[in-house]
Amino acid sequence: MFKRFLYLSFIIVALFGCAKKFENKKQLLAFIADESNGLTSKKVLDHVDVAVSFLPWQTQAFDDSFSKTKLNKAQLKQLAQKYYFLVSLSKDHKEVLKQLPFNEYSEMVQVLSFRMQNYIGITLDDEEKVAPLTCLFQPTYGYANANTILVVFEKSKLEKAKQIQFFMIEFGFKTGNITFDFNSKTIEKISKNSSLPTE
């Protein structure tokens, strides 16, 4: 019995001891961007590079060193109750939006700014579909490597699923319908990483 206890204790210590440590936001984002870590999924469709990344709530609340925030405890708690995904769209390492003809550009700005909730969602294990709370297009006016959309979901609707399938319906870039698969345990693990702040 005692040996079994020691063995279990060793396993627990080993698991926590092997947890990735992040000293700043740059290190965390680099870890997330590495597809092998299961937090970013990428596809290329009709020459458009589409990437979807899960972002822990701490990336939305704290400074680059994870030491300061302008939010109070209630606001931090609200952020922690959400799941955040960042959609990146690029072509030849440039913003895909900037490469459109002018007549298409204006329409796609409207779609990205105000209509993306009609085209994005998540499918759970039981085929239930969950709509985002909001989709926030971040204008960069041609100065970034990609156009980005921050997609926010209610955490309570997703956290019990084993698999999360993020989907995008064709909305104007000729990519067709796309899906990106994420493992809930991988998401939970990074969200609860011991080196990140808590609410």
**3-class secondary-structure state, position 196:** coil
Report yes or no on whether pTM surpasses 0.85.
yes
Each residue's pLDDT tens digit, 184-199: 999 999 998 978 888 6
Please give the Cα distance from 182 to 102 (Å, whole number).
36
d(CA 181, CA 183): 7
Per-residue pLDDT of 123-174, as tens digits, reads: 999 899 999 999 999 888 778 999 999 999 999 999 889 999 999 999 999 9
Instruction: Give me the DSSP letters along 4-57.
Output: HHHHHHHHHHHHHHTS---SSHHHHHHHHH-GGGTSEEEEEETTEEEEEEEE-T
Q: Output 18 or 71, whichever has higher pLDDT.
A: 71
